[in-house]
Structure 1
């Protein structure tokens, strides 16, 4: 890619102010709406005059002809006229007008590279009037952006910020600078930060981009941006922050004095409710050690039959936020309200939604969606789906299919399995049974006892799997037996018990699966605290502790997570984000079985 050498806009405007700019040339011919025959005659007349004129006057006349043709949509003819003009020895303003029209045509055709090739011949900006110099900057930025050179686009736009006083226009420009910096890759950004000749304006923008990019989650983001603001408080970006960066930072954390913990601590869900409650209490205690924490008021959700009873209890207990309920029917009942009088962080999902109702849980659908996304990101486009013949298996199948298809993939086939018919179910999915049936028919038809090698179908490049460990340990060898051992398998967390079992899991080698950081990462402080008093944190039941911890740590950031697309929070149950319907999405960590042991995939 060519390197375009240009004077900075600061030098440009200094030269103009000093009176060094060339006087403008004759303005282009302005025409009204003429009939096409008149336009054609006018173009022919201009070109005829150009043949009899001096080089500079000829260039002016050709430019006017090209402008007429361009206004009538005859871009190709206009381009042909312009390319015959030698701009090397023309006055700067005339050079600018010709190159401007050529560049705009290239931009209109979405050809950033050609636009940059024209701009390479742009006269020095110090020789142009201020308006033309600023327009030149805009053309450069548009061309860089269209050509995928987002860092160069940002640099050009940053140069122009000193010369715009209107706050509305400046906000739009800051937003565009930020968008360009956000699409700059890490290597380019780090390299630009190390350049010794960066001015204050550019360096501040680059460091802001790095502070945002280096975050692990919105908690760290808040701290990083605050640190940047302290260091760069006089920077234009601090005075007028980009809109999509300012939104989450300008919203206060959800600060409450009393939280209602609405979980079942009696009845059939007692053990589940108490485990989640243990997680909440652990996170609350850790928060108390760091700073002040709200008062927790525990309510047994099993005692309340309706949403109205829950709201009445919240009012009587004078709580300002509720974590819970867990029961799906009660979450559904709350979702029927248009707006709830206080925020609820429900620990289950329902199809409905209501203002002030947030939904968070450990759903099979979440994990299936993440597996489908992981496969798509790995370049897979044709999937087979294999799930158990059960309620959660059906939900996982639907989530697999909907997500994979929505991201551009194709579901080739899907199958539900029963353990007793697993061999047959997989053979049907891979169509090896059809291959064998064809051979039998051929033998009968020909009377020949020929050798036959079974083959699996060839129209799939991945398998999306939901299965428990005891089933998956049978499935993987059967896949290999039916010649599908080379197909990558993306599975949900149910495939891993949570405890290392190398001897049993050796048959899972090669399977990739998503799981929560609680399981795959080194133990956090909260997990170590629970390990000291509970002996089941490593089981699937232990995930409920993680859910409780995340529910408590999540609530202060609910408004921030909803304020900006892409905002996220690192939790024990995954990287958490919020949908427009206020449902929490979990992006999992990913691992692959090697020698019977999960190994993290970076």
Structure 2
């Protein structure tokens, strides 16, 4: 059937080529097409199949045949025969079309490319449409393209603009809009508050309510009732009954009492494990009814540790922490799950191991028996991993904390792009992690500004400052001054000038490197130019700093977890106690301690975050949110070096 349609489309297009009427170009003598008229035609959808439309086109006049072919291309897209649709549209683009036909054909090309997975190409083709009155299909495609290109803020605005003309009619449409708002990070959400669209304010208020109360039905119900009084016609009203029911279900299923914690308590990584242990115990003091069991992941093989978990039967597992232990834990769990799963033999279920005592080994059971005697999976307990797995996938009962530095870099790039900066220079360590962070920043920067950031990778040691000088083009200015002085025998007074195409610098550097780089950049900025604002990642911040360090880094703005910023802690009393007990603890261990605090607090929230994706946890490591894969990411706060103190900054 595919070959028949392609042959038929080719024959019709060939017929159209023969019917086109060229006109003479008097200036060149060449044959050119007649100029496109500015009319906009309305091309209605057809009830005929794509093949029927192709057949009909072969028997019609030139203009009517073109319309039928345009309809056929759109119908092929509807029928998911995308190659045929794209073939017809590309051939039609070579013919003389009216403005309306051209726009319709471009829409077909863009939609076919989008459905085939060529998102960037689809966006380029869609942008070629020339109209002030976009049609329904065009608006819908533009919204989907924005979302697929990871332009979530633009995608939400596009969908709200679409629904302004075509209001939400079903709970599925409302649920999809809700899912987009659920994905918003705090920094994206702040950017969205500066935009305007139909129902936007109502959605923002609704998402705030769910984010703060999505695990407490009483608070949620009360807040939503107040919201509904001023948003009676808002599409989110379609979602509130199911939302409240889900939160009630969550409340009834909570109450984890027996918690096992898998961290390294011996060996080289013992300081990390013991610091997490201390953070967990700090929170545990507010929930003494729970049973905590700490298991040293450096003392036994993972198979023995999982066997121990089967013995103590925990409700919830926190950890492992180290990446190799995470992968081993997931693999061991999966292997044991495979052993205890049911096996399908001759269309009958055979229970081999791990069954209820009342079912004998190798007995044949029916579906009804399985309902009466459910199997217990080896990993039926909930697990919050403290690191991301390298290869394995998470089950529905497994979650993972993400502390990826790439996420921090992406947040910084987005937030800084919203400050009006247009051209960024990235100074990064010439290391694997430095390159990952620089690339993440650059990718987000390009998405938001449509411009490429300049990246300078500096080596450690004496060559670091020279690399920075080259990045600022100061060395080129020095060379010009040197040449000028050699040509003119008189003494020439000159100041080197830095490049002027950079309005912001972002660095990925250790505290010691930042202390060398920041003053060096300051002195290499031309006195004729404005100071270039400088920003940094949390790697540049050290809680143990003196006045001289603050002076050298004065004005440097950086991202950091709330726990390490003044008056940003969620629990200031807990912070004060920790500083009294461990006054000289390093910044790295402080961040690990904060992770331990958040880990135990998340025990009561991960299931809610899974069922209510809008829910947020304001933790000591940042504002935490979960994606559809069970990965919990964080949004950091901002601080700024001052000579006498660290200042909080509201970048959002």
Q: Shorter-chain-normalised TM-score: which range?
A: 0.5 to 0.7
2:581 aligned with 1:507: no
2:379 aligned with 1:331: no
Paired residue secondary structure (1:591): strand
- Post-superposition shift, 1:248? 6.8
Residues 37 and 299 of structure 1: CA distance in aligned 2, closer, same or farther (over 3 Å): closer
2:453 aligned with 1:411: yes
Residues 173 and 351 of structure 1: CA distance in aligned 2, closer, same or farther (over 3 Å): closer
Paired residue secondary structure (1:428): helix
- Post-superposition shift, 1:280? 0.7
Residues 585 and 76 of structure 1: CA distance in aligned 2, closer, same or farther (over 3 Å): closer
Structure 2 counterparts to residues 255-270 of structure 1, below 5 A: 255-270=255-270
CA contact (8 A) 2:625 2:633 kept: yes
Paired residue secondary structure (2:287): helix
Paired residue secondary structure (1:498): coil
- For residues 310 and 333 of structure 2, what CA distance do their matches in structure 1 show? 18
Task: Write the deviation string for residues 435-466 of structure 1: whole angstroms up to 9, x where unpaired.
Answer: 32344456667888755432222333322212
CA contact (8 A) 1:567 1:577 kept: yes
- Post-superposition shift, 1:300? 1.0
Q: 1:492: which partner in 2?
A: 537
2:208 aligned with 1:213: yes
Q: Which runs of 5 or more residues in structure 2 are unaligned? A: 1-52, 65-96, 102-130, 140-154, 183-188, 338-378
Residues 251 and 187 of structure 1: CA distance in aligned 2, closer, same or farther (over 3 Å): farther
Selected match of 1:294 from 267, 290, 296: 290
Q: 1:359: which partner in 2?
A: 400
- Post-superposition shift, 1:270? 1.7
- For residues 227 and 500 of structure 2, what CA distance do their matches in structure 1 show? 58
Q: Which runs of 5 or more residues in structure 1 are unaligned? A: 1-31, 41-72, 78-103, 113-144, 159-168, 193-204
CA contact (8 A) 1:244 1:564 kept: no
Task: Write the deviation string for residues 251-280 of structure 1: whole angstroms up to 9, x where unpaired.
Answer: 626643321111111211222211111111
- For residues 227 and 557 of structure 2, what CA distance do their matches in structure 1 show? 44
Paired residue secondary structure (1:303): coil
Q: 2:437: which partner in 1?
A: 396
- For residues 310 and 365 of structure 1, what CA distance do their matches in structure 2 show? 32
Residues 311 and 559 of structure 1: CA distance in aligned 2, closer, same or farther (over 3 Å): same
Selected match of 2:135 from 108, 112, 118: 108
2:413 aligned with 1:372: yes
2:512 aligned with 1:470: yes
- For residues 179 and 324 of structure 1, what CA distance do their matches in structure 2 show? 29
Residues 332 and 186 of structure 1: CA distance in aligned 2, closer, same or farther (over 3 Å): closer
Q: 2:382: which partner in 1?
A: 343
- Post-superposition shift, 1:361? 5.3
- For residues 111 and 334 of structure 1, what CA distance do their matches in structure 2 show? 48
Residues 458 and 177 of structure 1: CA distance in aligned 2, closer, same or farther (over 3 Å): closer
Q: 2:284: which partner in 1?
A: 284
- Post-superposition shift, 1:109? 8.2
2:433 aligned with 1:433: no
Tell me the TM-score normalized by structure 1. Answer: 0.62
- For residues 446 and 172 of structure 1, what CA distance do their matches in structure 2 show? 77
CA contact (8 A) 1:537 1:543 kept: no
Residues 341-350 or 180-189, more deviating = 180-189
Paired residue secondary structure (1:414): strand
Q: 1:586: which partner in 2?
A: 634
Q: 2:239: which partner in 1?
A: 241
CA contact (8 A) 2:261 2:293 kept: yes
Q: 2:501: which partner in 1?
A: 459
CA contact (8 A) 1:439 1:452 kept: yes
Paired residue secondary structure (1:266): coil
Give the root-mean-square deviation of aligned CA atoms. 5.0
CA contact (8 A) 1:276 1:547 kept: yes
Q: 1:558: which partner in 2?
A: 606
- For residues 482 and 447 of structure 1, what CA distance do their matches in structure 2 show? 26
Task: Write the deviation string for residues 179-211 of structure 1: whole angstroms up to 9, x where unpaired.
Answer: 99999987999xx9xxxxxxxxxxxx9989635
- For residues 400 and 147 of structure 1, what CA distance do their matches in structure 2 show? 24
- Post-superposition shift, 1:384? 2.1
- For residues 61 and 433 of structure 2, what CA distance do their matches in structure 1 show? 72
Q: Size of the alignment, in residue pairs? A: 461
Q: 1:124: which partner in 2?
A: none
- Post-superposition shift, 1:157? 5.7
Task: Write the deviation string for residues 52-105 of structure 1: whole angstroms up to 9, x where unpaired.
Answer: xxxxxxxxxxxxxxxxxxxxx98979xxxxxxxxxxxxxxxxxxxxxxxxxx99
